[in-house]
Structure 1
Amino acid sequence: MADAAIPTVDLTPFFTDGDEDGKKKAKEVISQACSEYGFFQVVNHGVPLALMNQAMELSKTFFAYPDEEKLKCTRNSAGAPIPGGYNIQPGRSPDKNEYVVVFPAGSSFNVFPTNPPKFQEIFEEMFTYFTKVGQLMESIFSECLGLPPNFLKEYNEDRSWDLMVALHYFAATENENTGVSEHEDQNLITFVLQDEIGGLEVRKDGQWIPVIPTKGTFVVNVGDVIQVLSNNKFKSATHRVVRSKGKKRHSFAFFHNLQGDKWVEPLSQFTTDIGEPPRYRGFLYKDYQALRRKNKTHPPSRPEDAIRITHYAIST
């Protein structure tokens, strides 16, 4: 049976000099969670609670505007992994979800609404904090995997491809409650901040575990790139979003990404150095991005035909 809840990790020791015992215990919990199913929550992560609350309220205010107001910040951002600004989920009906995409400050891909006031200021501040947590988590993951603390940071030094998404899921209908069908994230690490409605679920041991929102926490999940680099030592989390009847859901997702020209393959530390065969063939990250994007723009007739990281798996 799967546990009733995913673990919550207090990151205070990583902001406190000298608490090596606290860091060791936290890394043990993170290592186990990442090895089993790739999901955990964090608290005392460095992102101010007041800022998270303010960003969530601004998001709810924006999505409550009429369509004509929201569409003012829509633009096809050529070259971006997904268009900046306001969007409706591609390939799906508009009563399922809508979102605003934010890139690093100064990016030419950004399209911010002028209303509500302070939207850009607060969202850029949130982005900055999430970037710092992403870099901290890279260091923690490196140590948990037995790599040098700066390994993932040096491998993934380009922060210009990170992105944050503010999401609004409409309430479930009588016939349909899927907000996002089951999938794994293609990047390195994702952070998810939910409102009080929840709806995020992770699969473990064949069962779906609801991720219960708790004030001040957000979810960390391992992406496909980490799974490949670690040769399956860390798992990319299979998760989904279920919409509730009569309740709209709001959330933020921050994607700690990889530059498209990066080569991704199992590291020698987890293959030849220890006599293990590689579980994946190498690939350019942008090629995998293109395949995953096609899943959304041209959804396969059968969900099981969607491209996942198993596309690069080596048969054993």
Structure 2
Amino acid sequence: MPGFSIPTVDLSPFFNEGLEDDKKKAIEIIAKACSDYGFFQVVNHGLPLSLMTRALELSKTFFEYPIEEKLKSSPGSGAPLPAGYNRQPEHSADKNEYLLVFPPGSSFNVYPNNPPQFREVLEDIFSHFTKTGLLMESILNECLGLRSNFLKEYNNDRSLDFMVPLRYFPATDTENNGITEHEDGNCFTFVFQDETEGLEVRKDGEWIPVTPTEGTIVVNVSDVIKVLSNNKFKSATHKVVRQAGRSRHSYAFFYNLAGDKWVEPLSQFTKEIGEPPKYRGFLYKEYQQLRMRNKTHPPSNPLDVIHITHYAIPHLGKEENS
């Protein structure tokens, strides 16, 4: 799409008093980005550049270790997702390996012993992500025109947020996908990446590269916000295209929702404005179980993969998804 780029928003006004006009402008840009395609970038977000750089350095070192060393951090049992080191199966279309981390102090975590200081950096950057997540939640709350602190009160359990340092393998002559086209199932996701390109977002049927920029965090709105807003905000469709001759390293932080939460379009976006709901309500853990089954038992027909459209109300016709 010629001339198009992902909008970048300066969050510094939200850390300083007396910059109400700048806050208002930032909220307007974010709201438009969320309603158009669900993707934007932020700077001056509260994560120190030095910490982001160090986190990438340590994850690169870890992923370069022999597989025997990485498997020492294999997942334990009992976690809702497999915390620790994971590698996609050889038959999977997604060619990556990753380390899944829950909040500091969680009994689910399985930290690598090497490289030294990796655990401390993971816990530090997780804590910074959580603070930025709380800020972003309040910004999205205002973008949607909800009453003060609505999303914070609705989503007040941070124990199931998780973070994933990732390594996408170099492309081969026959394969270049690093992760297939998808939308995230949580509330929203943060990503920062090294200098290797590959992340793309779909807008109006075209794939737009998200150019890596030092110190910038990519934000994508996910399925929970999409449903709560009755499609006012989009859940961003995105993918990773692997690059020839080089790995791509990134960190993704998933601002999540407790499994027993009920998710359905809010009345502000339905009956209060005379709009029919576009989705039927569901338990969040039910949806996550369906998404997990996509990975553990992928259907032979890609059209049978479960998306949020599973809950779309059929009589409304084809769901909008741009």
Taking structure 1 as the reference length, what is the TM-score of the superposition? Answer: 0.97
Give the distance between the partners of 2:59 and 2:162, measured in 1 at CA: 16
1:160 aligned partner? 159
Question: How far does residue 218 in structure 1 lie from its aligned partner after superposition?
Answer: 1.1
Count of residue pairs the alignment pairs up: 315
Worse-superposed segment, 67-76 or 152-161: 67-76
1:233 aligned partner? 232
Give the distance between the partners of 1:53 and 1:112, measured in 2 at CA: 19
1:54 aligned partner? 54
CA contact (8 A) 1:2 1:207 kept: no
CA contact (8 A) 1:90 1:296 kept: no
1:171 aligned partner? 170
CA contact (8 A) 1:88 1:94 kept: no
Q: How does 1:77-116 map to 2 (within 5 A)?
A: 77-78=77-78, 80-90=79-89, 92=91, 96-116=95-115
Question: How far does residue 220 in structure 1 lie from its aligned partner after superposition?
Answer: 0.2
Is the aligned partner of 1:131 residue 2:130?
A: yes
Is the aligned partner of 1:271 residue 2:250?
A: no
In the alignment, residue 173 of structure 1 is paired with which amino acid? T
Identity %: 70
1:22 aligned partner? 22
Give the distance between the partners of 2:3 and 2:141, measured in 1 at CA: 26
What secondary structure does 2:257 align onto?
Answer: coil
Question: How far does residue 303 in structure 1 lie from its aligned partner after superposition?
Answer: 1.8
CA contact (8 A) 2:280 2:313 kept: yes
CA displacement 1:165-186 (0-9 Å, x = unmatched): 0001110000000100000000
C-alpha distance 277-94 of structure 1, shift in aligned 2 (>3 A): closer
Give the distance between the partners of 2:196 and 2:180, measured in 1 at CA: 18
1:304 aligned partner? 303
1:202 aligned partner? 201
Question: How far does residue 95 in structure 1 lie from its aligned partner after superposition?
Answer: 9.0
Segments ≥4 residues shifted beyond 3 Å: 90-95
In the alignment, residue 296 of structure 1 is paired with which amino acid? K
Give the distance between the partners of 2:90 and 2:311, measured in 1 at CA: 25
In the alignment, residue 45 of structure 1 is paired with which amino acid? H
In the alignment, residue 215 of structure 1 is paired with which amino acid? E
In the alignment, residue 110 of structure 2 is paired with which amino acid? V
Give the distance between the partners of 1:299 and 1:272, measured in 2 at CA: 37
CA displacement 1:198-228 (0-9 Å, x = unmatched): 2110000000000001011010000000000
Question: What RMSD in Å do the two structures reach over aligned CA positions?
Answer: 1.3
C-alpha distance 44-217 of structure 1, shift in aligned 2 (>3 A): same
In the alignment, residue 110 of structure 1 is paired with which amino acid? N
CA displacement 1:229-266 (0-9 Å, x = unmatched): 00000000000000001011100000000000000000
2:320 aligned partner? none
Is the aligned partner of 1:285 residue 2:281?
A: no
1:147 aligned partner? 146
CA contact (8 A) 1:52 1:126 kept: yes
What secondary structure does 1:246 align onto?
Answer: coil
Question: How far does residue 302 in structure 1 lie from its aligned partner after superposition?
Answer: 2.1
What secondary structure does 1:176 align onto?
Answer: coil
1:314 aligned partner? 313
Is the aligned partner of 1:38 residue 2:38?
A: yes
Taking structure 2 as the reference length, what is the TM-score of the superposition? Answer: 0.96
CA contact (8 A) 1:91 1:298 kept: no
CA displacement 1:100-130 (0-9 Å, x = unmatched): 0110011111000110000110000000000
CA contact (8 A) 1:91 1:299 kept: no
Worse-superposed segment, 218-227 or 91-100: 91-100
What secondary structure does 1:106 align onto?
Answer: coil
Give the distance between the partners of 2:269 and 2:2, measured in 1 at CA: 27
2:8 aligned partner? 8
Consecutive unaligned residues of structure 1, counting only runs of 5 or more, are none
Give the distance between the partners of 1:223 and 1:75, measured in 2 at CA: 26
